[in-house]
Chain A
Amino acid sequence: MNKMTNPDNLTQAQLWILSLGAVLAEQNNSRHDILYGYGRTKEAMDSMRHVLKRDWGIASKSKLLSTLNWLLTDGHGVDFLKERYYISTLSEEAKNAYIESLNKGSSEYVQSQLVKVYDKSLPQAGVSAWDYGRYVFLCRCAAATDLISEKEAWELMLKAAKLAQKAYSSWREYALAYIAGRQTWLTNISSDSAEDQLERIKTLIIDPNSPWKVLDWYVKI
């Protein structure tokens, strides 16, 4: 991973905010230290527009804003929490009996297994990191494709950042919640899939140049 050089002289808070989307940024070979990390070439912009449309159905500002709002107020994190409230109310014995009673191939079964295994480790916010990370990614893409201005992008991302910083206590916790969220969204409990999720954060967790290593979790934002 390249060392962050911060060519645009972003504040620590701004770098921190961008780092919330570090998993997707890393996956897309984006820089972590500039807002337009994916570049502003026509090709890069076309590619981002394509991704926004393909994965999110976003082609307009209003659709973008409604999607961002959904990510902050509901997202996949809420589904996880609903299941978590149910499962964590049960005793260990009852949890096992409940999960065993479900159809092994069903999404309920997979969700319950995942909720059970992460219930004790994840904070109250559950897997909302998965929503926050994607939120930041969308803002960066939207700014780069001129759906929103740079100023709007920072304002929007700040909202998510404040929630994220309150919800988690470290980059590690955030990272685990992010990939657990992705795993829950995929409803996949195979070993292959688990390995794939881990690969997405491995470098960010151990590389000394990783923004997660460079920036303290409690940077003032």
Chain B
Amino acid sequence: MNYWGILGIESTVDLKVIKKAYASKLRLYHPEDDPKGFQNLREAYENALKEAKYIKEVNSSNTTINEEPSLHNEYDEILPNTKFDNSTNSVEKENLGIKDEDLVNLFMSRVCEIYNNFFTRIDINNWKGLLQDQNFWILNIKESLCFNMLEFLMDNYYLPHNVWCALDEYFYWTENEEYLYEEFDERFINYIISQVRETQSLRYEFFKKDYECDYDEFIRHRNNAYYALMNNNLEECGKAVMSAMEIFPDDPDLIRMLGIYYLRIEDSKNAELAFTHLIEINPKEIDGHLNRGYILIRQERINEAYYDFQNALNVNSDNISALKGLAECYFHFNNLIEAKLLYSQISENCVFDLESRLRIVEINAKLIDKYKNELTNNPKNIDILYELAKTYFEMESFEECHKTIKNLIKNQEVNSDIYLLLGRTLAGMKRNKESLKYFSKALIVASKEGTNSYEILFHRGLVNLQLENYEEAIQDFSGTLKINRYNAEALYNLSEIYLQTGRYSEALEFSNKAISTDSSKWIYYSVRGIANFRLKNYAQSKNDHAIVVKHEYSFSEAWYRKGYCHLQLLQYEEAIDCFKEAIDWKVEAYKDAHLRLSLAYFKLEDFKSALTEAKCHCEDNANDICGFILMGDIYRVLGISSKAEEAYIKAYELKPNSHKLLKILGYFYLNKNELKKAFQYLKKLIDIYKDDENAYIVFLWLCVELNESVAGTAAFADYEKLLKDNKISNVNPYALFYYSVIIYKKGFKKSMYKLAAQKLEKVIELGLKNGDLLSYLSMIYYELEDKENSIKYAKEAIAIDPSNVEYKIRYEGILQYCDKRNFLIFKNRPPAMTTWPIIGQLELQTFIADLPILNISIGENYE
């Protein structure tokens, strides 16, 4: 038999397949008891490895390419409908003559008949025969049957699992659980339901007809032992298991429990005996071998243990505990390579098993010592040098690995594998630029060898990514994906590159692909979460970050981003929880976690907490105006105006030319009716920022109120320029209104009055018509000696607001002058403004001067 035959596989270059085959054959040859068999196997393995290395072809990884994970479920078996159908039951009619009660009695007598004989009872066929008997398929006796059956079972409840299931299928107990709980004792129904649902019940198939004993009593003790063992009630368990053993000593379930019981009381001698007995009774079952194997390992009887694990694996070749036991035997035999191989297989199949990972580390440490020893006698042995270098690399001892490879290179022509290892080692030593040189050499040599460049490209991609050579890294990872498009790590790294280069849509695309290839890596969700975050897909980003923090609880930035998403989604309570975690875990990349937390509290109207957090933000970020603005807003809501003012002023001092702050302060003082202060900030605002229409309107109003005609005229000129520059044809009617009043007040010339009147008429054309405006217009026409319009507009003003006393006084005054003298020729009448001065303030366009409650928006990029 050639070595492929010994390994039991076809010729292959896939090292994984060879290793797997070797690992699976290891259990067949005991290294000490069958040294020849073991030696042959090992030689076969080594030869296979050598041959594979020589003929390694590019397509070694293609085997996985077409293996898409199956998404299809197994076909669900459609169970026949066993419910009674009254209309189609022909037998029912034949039974009409028999009383229902008799039928129920007949059924129950057959139940008793089956139950009373233990071996009839545990045979499912007897029950099936009864339950399928169409004589009892009558709907109106079903309930009665069910009740009678349950009453019977209250005293007779030792049945195998399959019988319980058959009864449940017939009586629908599990479907009508609630109803049963209403009618029967809770503990009894619990028992019934557990018997049906428990997949791991004790078996009835090992009892012997020719062995006379009280099986019911046996089952009672066995059940007691079972539940006592589950609850680790060892005293109770011991009593029950011994009583059961006295009745029937050959039940595998009981013997297994006996062995476990002895293990728990740390009586390994009796435990071993029990498991030996179990093996004798039922050698086809894995439990005896497995448990005894581990007892033997603890007693350092490795040779014997080996055979137990071998037998266990003959029963179930995939059993992880048995494989671990076998690996442990090899470890104790000091067959380190074999032990490592087996542990690696276990690690691959059971990724969460830490013991195998730990053993690999320990084995590597031992292997290093072993190789170093071997090299003292044979320092130039290239095979040992290479193995030593690889082991150092696995242990992340990069310096030592580097030295070893250098030594190796002196003694051997270098192949692509060695260049690759050297490149990776240098990368491990953070000598990334040097490592690139060796990856390139590896690629050239691999091309000459005709070997696969997949790994080389992948690892060079990683280094290029580290060095921020993004385009090169993209080429490398794309190259690996051409060879194997299901490489999740390459997909992930591509998404990382796109993220770092601000190409978020591509980052999203590749992270999606990485996740659909391997959904177990939290880091893939992190990259996707960030891509979604940048793309403002907050709902998706939130979900991704939820996965990230579940895996990496202390990942403060992930908590922050999750919180930010919740904030955007108006989920303030969740946002608060996340920001708190981010702060607790010392988030560093984002400086405004306290501010965001404060905002979330603000939204929930918890202003006290909001204030505390805003203060924290200000302490940590003394030069950031946002915290002070938020503090000002909070104080305003709390009605502490002086503190609000202090906070806004503090922010203003930090950034005296901030548009936002000038406006906040302007409006803040406006709302406090401190018009001079408001004027001061708004003047500065419109002097710096020429494009804020609302600010112009409010400022013009202030100019009216404060009689600042020069500033008002200049502001209106700037405002008109803004309109012209932006090709806006419609002037705001309020702006024009206020400006008209400024002209009028500046007045005392007919030409000015005419101009003011024209502009006010224009305001009316634009749709603004209020009492103030009309009253002003009436006064202007009064100055222009236009009796008709003067009276008309004075009247209209009163019509709009009949309660306004000023309008009335003006109207009556104008009329008075008309009555006493001829209005048109009156030359020395007093000016309207001094005769009927305007006492109240002009109406300000209502919405534009409102200061928002909150001046920091949740998603704002701050100044």
Q: Which residues of A contact B (CB under 8 A)?
A: 50, 54, 81, 85-86, 88-95, 97-98, 100-101, 113-114, 116-121, 124, 172, 175-176, 179-180, 183, 188-195, 197-198, 201-202, 205-206
Q: Is the Cβ of A81 less than 8 Å from the Cβ of B232?
A: yes
Set of chain A residues within 8 Å of B320, measured between Cβ atoms: 117
Q: Is the Cβ of B362 less than 8 Å from the Cβ of A205?
A: yes
* B823 part of interface (Cβ distance < 8 Å): no
Set of chain B residues within 8 Å of A191, measured between Cβ atoms: 351-352, 520
Contact of A194 among B264, B266, B291, B352 (CB under 8 A): B352
A55 nearest in chain B by CB position: B584
Contact of B229 among A85, A95, A116 (CB under 8 A): A85
Known: A89-B260, A189-B351, A193-B551. A120 touches B290 (CB 8 A): yes
Set of chain B residues within 8 Å of A54, measured between Cβ atoms: 584-585
Q: Is the Cβ of A91 less than 8 Å from the Cβ of B354?
A: no
A113 nearest in chain B by CB position: B352
Quote the shortest CB–CB distance from A128 to chain B (angstroms).
Answer: 15
Q: How far is the CA of A201 from the CA of B359 in the complex (A)?
A: 12
Q: How far is the CA of A205 from the CA of B226 in the complex (A)?
A: 39
Quote the shortest CB–CB distance from A80 to chain B (angstroms).
Answer: 12
Set of chain B residues within 8 Å of A118, measured between Cβ atoms: 355
Q: How far is the CA of A44 from the CA of B591 in the complex (A)?
A: 22
How many positions in chain B have a CB within 8 Å of any CB in the partner chain? 45
**Majority secondary structure of chain A interface residues (helix, strand, loop or mixed):** helix
Q: How far is the CA of A118 from the CA of B353 in the complex (A)?
A: 8
Q: Is the Cβ of B520 less than 8 Å from the Cβ of A179?
A: no
Count A-B pairs with CB separation below 8 Å: 112
Set of chain B residues within 8 Å of A97, measured between Cβ atoms: 199-200
Q: How far is the CA of A124 from the CA of B232 in the complex (A)?
A: 12
Quote the shortest CB–CB distance from B526 to chain A (angstroms).
Answer: 11
Q: Is the Cβ of B230 less than 8 Å from the Cβ of A89?
A: yes
Q: Is the Cβ of B200 less than 8 Å from the Cβ of A124?
A: no
Q: Which residues of B contact A (CB under 8 A)?
A: 199-201, 226, 229-232, 253, 256-257, 260, 264, 266, 285-287, 290-291, 294, 316, 319-321, 324-325, 350-355, 357-358, 361-362, 365, 395, 520-523, 551, 584-585
Quote the shortest CB–CB distance from A100 to chain B (angstroms).
Answer: 8
B265 nearest in chain A by CB position: A124
**Majority secondary structure of chain B interface residues (helix, strand, loop or mixed):** helix
Contact of B361 among A183, A188, A197, A198 (CB under 8 A): A198
Quote the shortest CB–CB distance from B70 to chain A (angstroms).
Answer: 16
B322 nearest in chain A by CB position: A92
Q: How far is the CA of A202 from the CA of B260 in the complex (A)?
A: 32
Q: Is the Cβ of B521 less than 8 Å from the Cβ of A90?
A: no
A117 nearest in chain B by CB position: B353
Q: Is the Cβ of B253 less than 8 Å from the Cβ of A91?
A: yes
Q: How far is the CA of A136 from the CA of B319 in the complex (A)?
A: 37
Q: How far is the CA of A188 from the CA of B520 in the complex (A)?
A: 10
Offer 9 A-B interface pairs, CB within 8 angstroms, sorted by A: A91-B200, A98-B200, A117-B320, A120-B294, A176-B358, A180-B355, A189-B352, A192-B551, A194-B351
Q: Is the Cβ of B361 less than 8 Å from the Cβ of A89?
A: no
Known: A88-B260, A176-B358, A198-B354. A190 touches B319 (CB 8 A): no
Known: A190-B520, A191-B520, A202-B361. A92 touches B355 (CB 8 A): no
Set of chain B residues within 8 Å of A205, measured between Cβ atoms: 358, 361-362
Quote the shortest CB–CB distance from A169 to chain B (angstroms).
Answer: 10
Known: A86-B230, A120-B325. A98 touches B551 (CB 8 A): no
Q: Is the Cβ of A117 less than 8 Å from the Cβ of B352?
A: yes
Set of chain A residues within 8 Å of B260, measured between Cβ atoms: 88-89
Q: How far is the CA of A206 from the CA of B521 in the complex (A)?
A: 28
A114 nearest in chain B by CB position: B352
Q: How far is the CA of A194 from the CA of B353 in the complex (A)?
A: 7
A193 nearest in chain B by CB position: B551
Q: How far is the CA of A143 from the CA of B328 in the complex (A)?
A: 42
Set of chain A residues within 8 Å of B229, measured between Cβ atoms: 85, 89
Quote the shortest CB–CB distance from A29 to chain B (angstroms).
Answer: 15
Quote the shortest CB–CB distance from A124 to chain B (angstroms).
Answer: 7
Q: How far is the CA of A97 from the CA of B551 in the complex (A)?
A: 28
Q: How far is the CA of A188 from the CA of B522 in the complex (A)?
A: 11
Quote the shortest CB–CB distance from A137 to chain B (angstroms).
Answer: 16
Set of chain B residues within 8 Å of A202, measured between Cβ atoms: 361
B285 nearest in chain A by CB position: A91
B312 nearest in chain A by CB position: A92
Q: How far is the CA of A206 from the CA of B365 in the complex (A)?
A: 7
Further pairs besides A91-B253, A191-B520: 6, Cβ < 8 Å: A85-B229, A85-B232, A91-B256, A94-B200, A120-B324, A172-B362
